[in-house]
Structure 1
Amino acid sequence: MVRLGLSGAALALVLAAPAHADTLQEALTQAYFNNPTLTAARADQRATDENVAIERAAGRPGVTASGSYIEFLKQSSTSFTAPERAFSAGADLSVPIYSGGAVKNAIRAAEVRVGAGQAELRATQSALFRQVVAAYMDVLRNEAILGLTANQVDVLGVNFQATSDRFEIGDLTRTDVAQSQARLALAQADFRGAQANLIGARETYIQLVGEAPTDLQPPPPLPNLPDSVAVAVAIALEENPDLIAARERADAAEIDIDVAGAGRLPRVSLVLGGNYDNYIGTLGGVAAPGGVAVPQTTTAAQAGVQFSIPIFQGGRPAALERQAQARAGAALERIIAAERDVIAQVRAAYASWQASLAIIESSQTAVSAAALSLEGVRAENSIGNRTVLEVLNAEQELLNARVDLVTARRNAYVAGFTLLAAMGQVEARDLGLADEGMLYDPLANYDRVAGKWWGWERGPDPVVESTSTVDVPAATALIGPVDEPESDSIY
């Protein structure tokens, strides 16, 4: 279990408006409650839940009522008792007794698809969390790179000025000045690119989280990472939500074969009906035998068993069954496809994680060595044993090593989280985003609607649950008190 930990008080702070995602935990929590992709997926799952009630309704009693009022404008010339007007009402009750297993199996298939939908909801949530973590780390990385490039511009600016001064006294050549100027111009270009990259990362963060990143803190360590790729794959094959959903959908598709086959079997229902007719005193004619007037109202009731036996349907049931079999075969193949995808994701994420850890170690060594090298080259340049170009190269190597280290740290964290996500270990409860009672529970809605009988009940009108980013100010490239070595900026 990956637990990043967030107290109830901190959660209340996150849910209050406006919220600022200063930590990774708060960013994930904000996205969990307010991201439109996730809230839409929850609404889609609630729609899937209703399929169970829809299929159950086909096996429940049905009652229909009908009525009519008729004015007879012209009577038949041979009718002596025809009424001038009539009112009729009737009611019919039908109770399905046997449907060849179609209803029972349709309910089973719908229930299995609810489970598949819940797994897909987990997968959507996991994918969102991966995106949020990547966006969070991208902001941190690009802030660090922007700081490094800003510092590089300042350093090269000082170098250029010093080179120009030494050229004025004849200590260096114009070539040395040109080399320093070229490196300064390239550093300024890199700085502008770093600004644009940071703004893009911050906008992606706003898109996913719904709030602008403010003073992001370093992320917590990722616990419970697997010891080997084999362990990771074994866990993923049991817990990955995409794979679970594929298996559930294949089970539902196999049940659909029985539903299609039921089209060949008889249908049996109990029926009960009643009718009432009122001619509103307009039924004319002679008196009935015995001197009793023709009644102006009549009632009738019927009860019985109704059945139908398909004899020939033009091959439709067989075609439907073959179609269901083909779809079930496709669903089985999708299990293998999902399994392959999961295995590839896990192995690739594990390899990326391990490689990034090795790159971090190498980059740390490179940074230390490059810093020592730069110090030595500068000292040797001061006594004329090194050229200006060698100093510039040493400064660039140090910058490259620092950027590589920042990037490797970002990649290691994202790869580690991606690995845990592929293993199915990054659900909201695993991450400790909120108390159990505050998390969205798809089972609660299913339990609420699956057994309902009443057809006049209406749910609440839909409302937007996620937050808009229209009023969130556009991202800038500001990172601290010293951000701009030049007077102008992107914003």
Structure 2
Amino acid sequence: MRYGTTKPLRFAGAVALALVIGVSTSAGARAETLADAMVSAYKHSGLLEQNRAVLRAADEGVAQAVSALRPVLSFSAGVAHNYGEGTSIQSNVLVSGGTVSNTGSMGITAQLALYAGGKNKLNVALAKEAVLQTRQQLINAEQIVLLNAVSAFMEVRRQYEVVNLRQNNLRLIREELRAARDRFEVGEVTRTDVSLAEARLAAAQSGLSAARGALMQAQNLYANVVGHKPGNLSQPPAVPKTVSSMEEAKALATRNHPLMIAAQHGVRQSELNVAVADAALKPQVNLEASYGKNGTFGSAVESTGGSVSLGVAQPLYQGGRLSSLQRAAMAQRDQARASLHITRQDLAQSAADAFAGLQVARASRESGILQVRAARVAFRGVREEATLGARTTLDVLNAEQELLDAQASLISAVVDEQVAAYSVLARIGALTATALRLGIQEYDPADYYNKVQSAPAGLSQQGRDLDRVLRAIGKN
């Protein structure tokens, strides 16, 4: 079965893995599943909140670009206190005196760009491309969050298993030490055998302490990624199906991965920027209308009037600045195209590496099962032979150590296979809440965009609704 970005994964029921030691859980407590961990990480991720805010800012860029297509209305009002002194001749007599007056004015002005060489419409298209690119970056952040949740969950599982394994190993070595001492008392073994068992017991105690420390670190990482400390963790579901070949992984990655789609939108933006730079050389036609009223306080004299004007402006020479902007835009377009090529190569390599890692982990698990089976048989045989005097205590301890190492390797192989499978899903763009069917209310990236794309004014009902939305987001 193959998965692209739109092919949902079904979480199967929890399937027991081929682990050596299971994590014990209390009878009445509900174990936390891998899906629960991913849902919690999705809800509490600061990275997702950060990228959602970035997306909302990009949505507002569309509103700002749309506003340039509309008229600009402005109101002005002012008062002035005027005073001065002067002289005049009245009836052949030189008269001097002062003048004082208070005047007021108010007016309204409307401006509309009738033609701007297509620059304003290009800016709208540019802003929309930025929104589409940012949405893909949000999806990529979502994949990072979910993969981190999988890794944290499986790491806690790994360390739980290792702690339990080392506890069992410690009990077993204590039994061996007790048997060695009993056999020493009756003269069947020497003091050296007892010392060997004592040394191995000290090493086992040290290993258990180290395993407990690693478990604490894994729990802290889990709390940071998922949003709470782990309780009882259930067995993870069966390893998810991914792709059947490396070539398929590479093809899906270069077609469906959000970073690839984001890079494509980046190229489109760079091409639009070239068109915007070209439009800056074209003439601009503006329509302006104004209406105002002026008067003097305490006087019945006042004036009202208005004007309508149509103006055309075109840059002729700006010291070579506009031509330089054109060349820079073209260079940035070439850079974006090269970046798209690099992104395609990197994603293909990353998908191939992830698929190879999955194959290695799968082979390690299969060989680990055989190794544990053989090491267990060998250990039992050596221990039986030791009771008959055909094997030494050191032989028993070495066989037990080989079994311990094999069991620890199998634990890691099972965990690595799970993480590797989800890593493949992330590399092909299929590790999303939608694809995994996590059953969570997902963030709708189009919701805020639909509210602001028409550039509502702050005093409108839609503008007030947006203010309430943002205030609610800020409180979370």
Normalising by structure 1, report the TM-score. Answer: 0.86
- Answer whether contact 2:83 2:100 (CA < 8 A) is retained: no
Moved more, 161-170 or 346-355: 161-170
The change in CA–CA distance for 1:465 and 1:53 in structure 2 (over 3 A counts) is: closer
Residue 187 of structure 1: which of 199, 204, 212 is its match?
Answer: 204
Partner of 2:278: 261
Partner of 1:84, secondary structure, is strand
- Answer whether contact 2:84 2:99 (CA < 8 A) is retained: no
- Answer whether contact 1:34 1:465 (CA < 8 A) is retained: no
Q: 1: distance between equivalents of 2:166 and 2:189?
A: 26
> Which amino acid in structure 2 is aligned with residue 54 of structure 1?
Q
Moved more, 96-105 or 168-177: 168-177
> Which amino acid in structure 2 is aligned with residue 46 of structure 1?
R
The change in CA–CA distance for 1:399 and 1:6 in structure 2 (over 3 A counts) is: closer
Q: Deviations over 1:76-122 (max 9, x none)?
A: 55699976110011111111111122211111111011000000000
Whether 2:375 is the aligned partner of 1:370: answer yes
Q: 2: distance between equivalents of 1:322 and 1:82?
A: 60
Residue 251 of structure 2: which of 234, 239, 243 is its match?
Answer: 234
Moved more, 390-399 or 273-282: 273-282
Residue 338 of structure 1: which of 331, 340, 343 is its match?
Answer: 343
Moved more, 325-334 or 302-311: 325-334
The change in CA–CA distance for 1:464 and 1:208 in structure 2 (over 3 A counts) is: farther
The change in CA–CA distance for 1:116 and 1:92 in structure 2 (over 3 A counts) is: same
Within a 5 Å distance, the mapping from 1:168-207 to structure 2 comes to: 168-207=185-224
- Answer whether contact 2:64 2:455 (CA < 8 A) is retained: no
Within a 5 Å distance, the mapping from 1:263-278 to structure 2 comes to: 263-278=280-295
Partner of 1:472: none
The change in CA–CA distance for 1:387 and 1:21 in structure 2 (over 3 A counts) is: closer
RMSD, aligned α-carbons: 2.3
Name stretches of at least 5 consecutive residues in structure 1 with no aligned partner.
8-18, 283-294, 468-491
Residue 303 of structure 1: which of 303, 308, 327 is its match?
Answer: 308
Moved more, 30-39 or 79-88: 79-88
Partner of 1:3, secondary structure, is coil
Partner of 2:280, secondary structure, is helix
The structure with the greater share of residues assigned to strand is: 2
Q: C-alpha displacement at 1:465, in angstroms?
A: 7.5
Q: 1: distance between equivalents of 2:80 and 2:474?
A: 51
Partner of 2:446: 443
Q: C-alpha displacement at 1:452, in angstroms?
A: 2.2
Within a 5 Å distance, the mapping from 1:48-63 to structure 2 comes to: 48-63=58-73
- Answer whether contact 1:132 1:209 (CA < 8 A) is retained: yes
> Which amino acid in structure 1 is aligned with residue 9 of structure 2?
R
Partner of 2:429, secondary structure, is coil
Q: C-alpha displacement at 1:144, in angstroms?
A: 0.5
Q: Deviations over 1:405-446 (max 9, x none)?
A: 1101111111111101111112211111226xx221101111
- Answer whether contact 1:21 1:216 (CA < 8 A) is retained: yes
Aligned length: 442
Name stretches of at least 5 consecutive residues in structure 2 with no aligned partner.
1-6, 14-28, 89-95
Q: Deviations over 1:109-146 (max 9, x none)?
A: 11011000000000000011111001111111110011
Give runs of ≥4 in structure 1 deviating > 3 Å.
4-7, 75-83, 455-458, 460-467
Q: Deviations over 1:386-412 (max 9, x none)?
A: 111111111011111111111011111
The change in CA–CA distance for 1:222 and 1:156 in structure 2 (over 3 A counts) is: closer
Q: 2: distance between equivalents of 1:319 and 1:84?
A: 53
- Answer whether contact 1:83 1:279 (CA < 8 A) is retained: no
Q: 2: distance between equivalents of 1:144 and 1:442?
A: 40
Normalising by structure 2, report the TM-score. Answer: 0.88
Partner of 1:72, secondary structure, is strand
> Which amino acid in structure 2 is aligned with residue 379 of structure 1?
E
Whether 2:57 is the aligned partner of 1:47: answer yes
Partner of 1:145: 162
The change in CA–CA distance for 1:246 and 1:152 in structure 2 (over 3 A counts) is: same
Q: 1: distance between equivalents of 2:86 and 2:329?
A: 56
